[in-house]
Amino acid sequence: MEYIVFILLGLTMAGFEALLLIRFSKNLIANTIGILGGIGALLAIWDYSYRILMIKDLRIQTFGCFVFSFGLGFCILLWLFSKIFIKSLDDKYSLRMSDILLGNVKALENHTNNRQKQIDAELNYHELYELKESNEKQFEELTETKSYLLEKEKDMLHLKKYLDENLSKTVCLELPLNYKYPVTINYLNNMESYIKAFVKFDNYIFDTTEQFIENQNENSDRDLQIFLKTYLNFLCLSTSKILFGYHEGVRTHVRYLKDGYYETIACCVGEIKSDKDLTKIPLKKGMIDKSNVSKQSLIKSCNLEYHYSAQNDHVWKDYITIPIIEIEKKHMPLLSIGISIKYPGIHSDILKFLNFIKIETVYSKNICKINKYYDILKIISEGV
């Protein structure tokens, strides 16, 4: 009976020691302390059991049973546990409950590393990391650009303040909308020719409009579409000739409202040709809409924020938009006249002069006179 007790004790202790070793801790000191502690506990348990059972004659025999069963059990159990637990390390991704309970550090570390590699591969970690680096670089660049732009904005505000101060001391033309155009010596020198041309233009358009009406009344069987187109071509041609001397750097055109867009109906470019390939301007966009709201002609360079980008912006650098607000279609002007210039250095001053002197009144009063006799909206609705 005593032998069996010591054999069981030895086997139990062997089980504990084998489990202790199988933890695979990397810490050598902890492993050594654990083993030494185990041996100390072994001897203490044997001694304690021996005293409790009060066996006096079988000291060596029971100790032998205890040590033998411990040694044999330890070897068998260590081999058995190694087979069970160490084999599991080959499995890359699975982590078993026993690994956690036994604190199988190597298995846990191995599992963690493998899982990390697997997740990295699935999420394409390296690419994401590179992207992150690139984003950080871009962010730094943008931050630098932002601070540069802020500095520039500061400079521009200073410059604007300086210009405003100097403009207040200079003679300026007040052009719509809230734009001050400084009057230069060159402008003053040319003003006489501008006024002369404008007066001639006004007078000529007025007389010829009367003649157009008279002529159409005498030839009432003439196609009204041809009549209207001719009149609008006459306006473009006269503008180009009288105000700009048929300069090839000036384009005069008339647009009409059709299906939500302003399309070309008449156009004149200097003496050479008549360009029909003008950008369609959508309703409620661009300068036509803004000039309709403000009820006056507007110049692009004075109102850049309202400009609608067109396909020939690189050719025609500036223009004036003149809406004929008296004849409406869907609360928008049916007709809009435009004068575009290629060379602002040559024609910028006269464009500003025409805006200042309200050239829209010349076009409006004459077109309205035509409209009084011949309904322009009706003529256009019937197709031009």
Residues within the interface to other proteins (CB under 8 A): 191-192, 195-196, 198-200, 202-204, 208, 211-212, 214-215, 218, 222, 226-227, 229-231, 233-234, 237-238, 241-242, 246, 268, 271-274
Residue in this structure with the two tokens 């050239």, named with its chain if needed: 359
Instruction: State in angstroms the smallest separation of the CB of 384 from other proteins.
Output: 11
Q: Which residue's CB is nearer to other proteins, number 98 or number 238? A: 238
Smaller CB separation from other proteins, 42 or 242: 242
In one-letter notation, the amino acid at residue 55 is I
- Round to whole Å and give the CA distance between 337 and 291: 11
How far is 295 from 364, CA to CA, in rounded Å? 11
Q: Which is nearer to other proteins, 202 or 313 (CB)?
A: 202
Is residue 324 helix, strand or coil? coil
Which residue lies nearer to other proteins by CB, 21 or 337? 337
Report the nearest approach of other proteins to the CB of residue 274 (Å): 6
Smallest distance from the beta carbon of 204 to other proteins, in angstroms?
6
Residue pair 70/42 in contact (Cβ under 8 Å)? The answer is: yes
Residue 345, classified by CB atoms within 10 Å of its CB into exposed (0-12), middle (13-18) or buried (19+), is: exposed
Of the pair 114, 230, the CB lying nearest other proteins is at 230
**What is the closest distance, in whole angstroms, from the C-beta atom of residue 201 to other proteins in the complex?**
8
C-alpha 315/C-alpha 303 separation (Å) is 18
Nearer to other proteins, 308 or 356 (CB): 356
- Residue 250 or residue 268: which is nearer to other proteins going by CB? 268
Instruction: Return the number of the residue (104 or 340) whose C-beta is nearest other proteins.
Output: 340
CB of 321 to other proteins, least distance (A): 23
Other beta carbons within 10 Å of 327: 20
CA distance to 190, 205, 220, 363, per residue, from 359 (Å) = 18, 12, 31, 7
In angstroms, what is the minimal distance from the CB of 231 to other proteins?
Answer: 8
Other C-beta atoms within 10 Å of 160: how many?
11
CA-wise closest residue to 360 among 329, 323, 331, 333: 323
Q: Least Å distance between CB 130 and other proteins?
A: 59
CA-angle at 229, arms to 240 and 231, nearest 5°: 55
Residue 227 vs 316, nearer CB to other proteins: 227
In the bound complex, what is the minimum distance in angstroms from residue 261's beta carbon to other proteins? Answer: 21
AA identity, residue 146:
K
Which residue, 12 or 233, is less far from other proteins as judged by CB? 233
Question: What b/e string do you get for 226-262 counting C-beta neighbours within 10 Å, with b at 16 or more?
Answer: ebbbbbbbbbbbbbbbbbbeebebbbbbbbbbbeeeb
Alpha helices (H) along 177-316 = 185-218, 224-238, 244, 286-294
Could you give the angle at which helices 185-218 and 360-373 cross, rounded to 10 degrees? 0
Please state, as a whole number, how many other Cβ atoms lie within 10 Å of the Cβ of residue 176. 18
Kindly state the smallest distance separating residue 314's Cβ from other proteins, in Å: 24
- What is the length of the chain? 384
Residue 284 parent element (H or E) = none
In the complex, the smallest distance separating the C-beta of residue 280 from other proteins, rounded to whole angstroms, is 19
